Chain A
């Protein structure tokens, strides 16, 4: 099962390697990882989506992360109310005649065309896990050429 956790870390050289190394050394799987500076440039915020087969594994992941010297706090969102978002960029097959169909989609989802070249358009969209999944299903009807996603961001 997938769990979302956030980790506040010292914004120091090598910290990402420590976190990533911990996951690989202990055989935990990272589904996605997003890192950036916070308001305080000395601190970075990581949102990590992990695969954990049971509560015991998840507990160990939390404890092991906490054990890293550069980790300030770990928050497990599994049982916590939180917001999460992901941004995707999707290149789809697109002809001008498709415009109304796409417009209908954007009535249901937060997204827009950010680039349009010949028979291809690049769509930008933001949403939570469920929304992104549904959106991608819709866009797939046009034919998805390429897809990049940021990985999940989560906040309490």
Chain B
């Protein structure tokens, strides 16, 4: 069997149902095999779109997303997508063609050192030099991508290896001696954590993307309800705890809710689950939660004590550890007073916006979207203001219903990611919350959507600005709007020219009908919402401030 066929047979063994990609000279043998092979292939309009679509598929399903590109520019176009997946610990396998082994290092046509380029943005990568190694490498790649703290793995396959012939032997087991992730938490540490929890007066749970990766949402709920502790999540953790639960405080950090930030700062115990105390969460580190002890549950030891001092580290899988922790807690903490205090903050500092203007407000659109869907949808986002409003003004009830580039903050992510999610869940409504800046970064994927009948609904919050940067310029650079005003095409006509449906909304009264029409339309829909141009995202913690030093916006 030739290498190209071994690749596809191996992907099938791994349960791959769909590949996103783009053909080219050094992947011709693979595409020749794909022609009549039993795996769905989606031809995107740009390799970056393929990488983000594979990522969106992975985020929505929890399975490994797969993308495929040719050597050189095909591979370098994947780079942003791979880095995006890496920063958010998303399982992905990226397959690239490479020039023939005899040409490597020769500056051959469309040659790039792709394993070199992607080394710092992959969990691991492989250059396949011998077709005999191919099946084993694919099995290892999937194992590495999906185990421990997941991440993208790249496999670079020279074209002569794709053509070379060998026997196909699929390794049923993968054992990598130098890679043994820890799944079960240390019982002694769990006991210590249980003791701290029992003694706490003002505890808070701070949950991150690890809860979703590990599938620990039910255990998290059980823990929170058992010990009656308020829960805040990171951006990546949204959906890991039910957004309408009475113990939920919303997201914390730079654009988190004021009450989540106050609660964290005043807490005496932080129970961190699958989160990494990122700078967008902690604000100025020296002032972060000064009175709190910290229990930190994470599968990646290097996340622990990286940014803040931890009292009880527990390395392992969140689901396993939470289960054990729940049974280990014998004496419940008395949190009655604390919950009242937190409730006070909730009432005093609610999320809010000024809705008295004649202009259309993005928050209002999201409220309407919530009202129409009640959480039964997958919400993807681009990056910037629209993304932050989507965190604040929509409630995520279950894991994998919020899909967004957190760590890298990649504009252009949302639209192709929404395609991946929609292909994984054709029966679900999939929305992409976009700005007029971000949507233009991968707008070519309209072609992919229409050609493959991937009916995603794109809500463009069109304010004529690169809004988040403009907001910073307004607040910290004397309103010098340097290159943040941005023009747009006519999105209605653009959508129509691709064969999709375009709707323009300029009035508040049109919002609901437009959303309803989008939901009912069996096609890709772009809604061009002409929103208030200078609306800001509040609350906001300015850079370098403690997270309780927020700009509220409405005072």
A residues at B contact (CB < 8 Å) = 9-10, 13-14, 17-18, 21-22, 25, 56, 59-60, 63-64, 66-67, 69-72
Contacts and interface: CB of A to CB of B under 8 A. Distances in A.
Interface in B279-313: 300-302, 305-306
A67 B302 contact: yes
Interface string B251-288: 00000000000000000000000000000000000000
Interface in B156-188: 176-179
A72 B178 contact: yes
12 contacts: A13-B127, A14-B127, A17-B116, A21-B119, A56-B305, A60-B302, A63-B302, A67-B300, A67-B301, A67-B302, A69-B123, A69-B176
Nearest to A14: B115
Contacts of A9: 178
A69 B122 CA distance: 11
Given A69-B179, A72-B178, A25 B115 contact: no
Nearest to A64: B302
A10 B178 contact: yes
B79 to A, nearest CB: 15
A21 B178 contact: no
A4 to B, nearest CB: 20
Nearest to B125: A14
Given A18-B119, A21-B120, A63-B301, A70 B178 contact: yes
A21 B178 CA distance: 19
Contacts of A22: 120
B525 interface: no
Nearest to B123: A69
Given A17-B116, A66-B301, A69-B179, 9 more contacts: A14-B119, A25-B120, A60-B302, A63-B301, A64-B302, A67-B302, A69-B123, A69-B124, A72-B177
A59 B309 CA distance: 12
Nearest to A55: B305
A-side binding surface: helix, strand, loop or mixed?
helix
B550 interface: no
A71 B178 contact: yes
B329 interface: no
B305 A59 contact: yes
Contacts of B301: 63, 66-67
A63 B313 CA distance: 14
B375 to A, nearest CB: 36
B143 to A, nearest CB: 10
Contacts of A72: 177-178
A21 B179 CA distance: 19
A13 B133 CA distance: 14
A17 B176 contact: no
Nearest to A72: B178
Contact of A69 (B115, B120, B144, B300): B144
A33 B492 CA distance: 60
Contacts of A10: 178
Contacts of A66: 301-302
A41 to B, nearest CB: 15
Interface string B110-130: 000001100110011001010
A21 B121 CA distance: 11
A3 to B, nearest CB: 17
Contacts of B305: 56, 59
A66 B181 CA distance: 11
A84 to B, nearest CB: 24
A10 B126 CA distance: 13
A69 B178 CA distance: 6
Contacts of B306: 60
A81 B531 CA distance: 67
A18 B178 CA distance: 14
Interface in B82-135: 115-116, 119-120, 123-124, 127, 129
Nearest to A69: B124
Nearest to B149: A67
B482 to A, nearest CB: 30
B374 to A, nearest CB: 41
A22 B122 CA distance: 12
B306 to A, nearest CB: 6
A113 to B, nearest CB: 42
A25 B86 CA distance: 15
Contacts of B129: 13
B119 A17 contact: yes
Most central of B127, B177, B302 by chain A CB within 10 Å = B302
Contacts of A63: 301-302
B178 to A, nearest CB: 4
Nearest to B116: A17
Nearest to B177: A72
A70 B115 CA distance: 15
A64 B149 CA distance: 13
Contacts of A70: 124, 178
Nearest to A73: B178
B393 to A, nearest CB: 37
Contacts of A21: 119-120
B330 to A, nearest CB: 33
A31 B111 CA distance: 34
Contacts of B115: 14
A12 B220 CA distance: 41
B1 to A, nearest CB: 25
By Cβ-Cβ distance, the 4 closest A-B pairs, closest first, are A63-B302, A69-B124, A72-B178, A25-B120
A70 B306 CA distance: 22
A13 B124 CA distance: 13
A89 B110 CA distance: 45
A59 B313 CA distance: 14
A78 to B, nearest CB: 17
Contacts of B178: 9-10, 69-72
B233 to A, nearest CB: 25
Most buried by B among A25, A64, A67: A67
